[in-house]
Amino acid sequence: MKQLYFVTSNENKFKEAGKILSNYGIHVYMKKVELIEKQSDDPALIASSKARDAWKALRNDVIVEDDGLFIDALQGFPGPYSAFVYKTISNEGVLKLMNDVTNRNATFLSVIAHCSRNFAPIIFKGAVKGKISKKLRGRSWGYDPIFIPNNSGGLTYAELKSKKNMISHRRLALEHFAEWYTSI
């Protein structure tokens, strides 16, 4: 069984990732490391720099994950700053911004950066297209109650509950990583 650290302070993310990676025989440990984030509109750059710093701190195989919700009608807002926006204006603020907006298309993007002794950080991405709901639906964390992935029968990530893990942007990114990681 392969083992590595998932560097995050978000227990929900860790739980999701742990379940998905265990299907590939990969065991992850949650590890909190104080990482300085570069400010950039490019999530891959942010994750890549964090993975490098995390490897330097732990000297062990690591992954970090950043995700962002990119809303078409808002020119990609909240995008790379999804965490800050969630902390300040939250889902209620995003729904207010989308009030009376017809084009509700959005993309949820996950970026996994992996770093190990022998490699520069490697990036794996997963993206799911969908729509922003008109109100909060389902109880969960993050933007899950307002994101309706395409082909979900109109349910939000939050309403899909455990089924979210079968189709989520994070799953897609983790699968790309896991397929590569178990092949080396």
Nearer to a copy of itself, 46 or 174 (CB): 46
Distance, CA of 97 to CA of 91 (rounded, Å): 10
Q: List residues binding a copy of itself (CB under 8 A).
A: 36-41, 46, 74-81, 84-85, 87-89, 93, 96-97, 99
Nearer to a copy of itself, 38 or 176 (CB): 38
Per the residue annotation, which of 42, 53, 61, 66 is the catalytic one?
66
Determine phi and psi for 109, rounding to 5 degrees. Answer: -115, 135
Determine phi and psi for 34, rounding to 5 degrees. Answer: -70, 110
41 is catalytic: no
CB of 73 to a copy of itself, least distance (A): 10
CB of 116 to a copy of itself, least distance (A): 24
Alpha-carbon distance values, 57 to 26, 28, 52 (Å): 21, 17, 9
Distance, CA of 14 to CA of 159 (rounded, Å): 20
CB of 99 to a copy of itself, least distance (A): 7
| Residues noted as catalytic | 66
